[in-house]
Structure 1
Amino acid sequence: MSLDLKGKTALITGASRGIGRAVALKLASLGADIAIHYRKNLEEAEALEVELGRSFGVRCTKFAADLSDLGEIHRFLGEVKTAHPRIDIYVANAAATAFKPLEAIREHHIAKTMNITVTAFILAMNAFKPLMRSGSKVITVSGVDTKKYCTNHGLLAAAKSALETLTRYYSVEWAADGIFVHGVNPGLVDTDSLKVYFGSSYEEAKAGLASLVPMKKLMPTEDVAELVAFLCSPAADWMNGETLYADGGVGFMMPVYSGK
């Protein structure tokens, strides 16, 4: 598949590290100018900006915003609209939550998680629609916790499930305008968040998680970026509204008791 994104602008939320960073690098390698959103790590965002310019010669703009805060969301959207008269690709990747049992969840946990994943997405979609044109692409990023039980992931799974539903609804409501909305659910991915979550036990946890995958390894962020690039292509147009599940077979597996 040959995909040329020269002359197009891609906005990626949560782009300073992990999946978002890999997506930014991939789309830039295909010629797209990149608008990166990050929450607070300016050093990582600047490093990505330098790499995008040095490696691919594309234009890069960066926007800092805490998407858990409604005021910050509106400021962010205004800054993007001022800087970019057109958005051709919007990748909704940002996410954060409180990893707790559901009975320990409090109102502020709900507000934070839902604002970042759901509220910010809806407000961004509606703000950016005038900047999009026929052929524009929206890609949402969810996760394996929407279909497999993951300890302490209940709140995030609910938010990501809502995101998958919104993917379907927007795909129908915007189809007549030629705007395509797709999703990707990549399963168990080796991300920076995984390292933060498990801390000193990361290597042990990584091996344990990899054992759940038939291929016995976690998905690299670069492979997720390849899926996003595919969804940005006309070849994926007839997958409008679909979330592409690419979990290496994890969804098919279940714990097996050997009987010994």
Structure 2
Amino acid sequence: MTKPFHGKTALITGASRGIGRAVALKLAAQGADILIHYRKNHEEAEALEVELQKNHGVKSFKFAADLSELSEVQGMLEKIKERCREINIFVANAAATAFKPLAEIREHHIAKTMNITVTSFILAMNALKPLMPPESKVISVSGIDTRKYCVNHGLLAAAKSALETLTRYYAIENAAEKIFVHGVNPGLVDTDSLKVYFGSAYEESKAALIRLSPLQKMLSSEDVAEIISFLCSPAADWLNGETINASGGADFLMPVYSGS
């Protein structure tokens, strides 16, 4: 039986761990060849590349680039254009910031955060559009800090909010070419980043979040990958420009995430 994404190529930024890794595995299981972007953890990226090829029989290639450095973004995009004839799926997942109160944010923090989340997305969309045939899919991954207060997340929330706006604009501006642009805004996802955020209060905070969840569980990277897989399918075409809030109903019960 033919897999739904057989013959398609997917580029995933921030793919070596967390949500990005789960998305790579999910799309590969459905037949897609995978372009793995990572910043510096070569061992994790290489392990993922081997797993994709061994377990799913797809082609995979890895590209290292610090998305905060625009010269590296341009270099990665040139390499992708040299290697690939088509990009059918682009998942913009990478993010990083300085987790500080806004009063402590400096110009270099702003430049780094915006380059990784906003500028690199625009550069990638504009550079890769000629490689995107009709029915291509672009998925942006934002975060709960755009709709709930999260301690020290102000700068990242601003960048992710801009990403959601770009998702709407690119959806409209590319509709005539049948390039669909969607977004997913997960709730708190049980990743290594969440462990760092909560620190020593991680286990206690996780238990509290599970108790408050209508589904009595936490969102996993694999759960987010399932949503992204759906958005990559033709069944999601009428969600063009929409950013899907994926909180499992928790948004309606938890007014604020204040951190530890």
Q: TM-score, normalised by structure 1?
A: 0.94
Unaligned residue ranges in structure 2 (runs of 5+): none
Distance 1:253 1:5 in 2: 37
Distance 2:108 2:204 in 1: 32
Distance 1:212 1:99 in 2: 25
Q: How does 1:203-218 map to 2 (within 5 A)?
A: 203-218=203-218
The corresponding residue for 1:176 is 176
Question: 1:68: Cα distance to partner?
Answer: 0.5
Q: How does 1:33-182 map to 2 (within 5 A)?
A: 33-182=33-182
1:119 counterpart letter in structure 2: T
The corresponding residue for 1:196 is 196
The corresponding residue for 1:14 is 14
1:223 counterpart letter in structure 2: D
**What SS does the aligned partner of 1:115 have?**
helix
Say if 1:234 and 1:3 are closer, same or farther in 2 by CA, change over 3 A: farther
- The reply to whether residue 5 of structure 1 matches residue 5 of structure 2 is yes
Question: 1:26: Cα distance to partner?
Answer: 0.2
Distance 1:117 1:23 in 2: 18
CA contact under 8 A between 2:142 and 2:184: conserved in structure 1? yes
1:96 counterpart letter in structure 2: A
Question: 1:32: Cα distance to partner?
Answer: 0.3
Distance 2:212 2:165 in 1: 27
Say if 1:75 and 1:152 are closer, same or farther in 2 by CA, change over 3 A: same
Distance 1:75 1:197 in 2: 32
Question: 1:214: Cα distance to partner?
Answer: 2.6
Distance 1:119 1:3 in 2: 34
Question: 1:217: Cα distance to partner?
Answer: 2.3
- Point out the more displaced range, 70-79 or 39-48: 70-79
Say if 1:255 and 1:76 are closer, same or farther in 2 by CA, change over 3 A: closer
**What SS does the aligned partner of 2:159 have?**
helix
Distance 2:82 2:254 in 1: 49
* Per-residue Cα deviation, 1:15-34 (whole angstroms, up to 9, x for no partner): 00000000000000000000
Distance 1:209 1:64 in 2: 35
* Per-residue Cα deviation, 1:59-78 (whole angstroms, up to 9, x for no partner): 00000000011111111111
Say if 1:42 and 1:19 are closer, same or farther in 2 by CA, change over 3 A: same
- Point out the more displaced range, 166-175 or 200-209: 200-209
Distance 1:196 1:101 in 2: 17
Distance 1:109 1:212 in 2: 34
Question: 1:210: Cα distance to partner?
Answer: 3.0
- Point out the more displaced range, 78-87 or 208-217: 208-217
CA contact under 8 A between 1:147 and 1:251: conserved in structure 2? no
Question: 1:199: Cα distance to partner?
Answer: 4.1
Query: How many pairs are equivalent?
Result: 255
Distance 2:28 2:204 in 1: 34
Q: TM-score, normalised by structure 2?
A: 0.94
**What SS does the aligned partner of 1:238 have?**
helix
CA contact under 8 A between 2:210 and 2:218: conserved in structure 1? yes
Q: CA RMSD in A?
A: 1.5
Q: How does 1:224-239 map to 2 (within 5 A)?
A: 224-239=224-239
CA contact under 8 A between 2:140 and 2:184: conserved in structure 1? yes
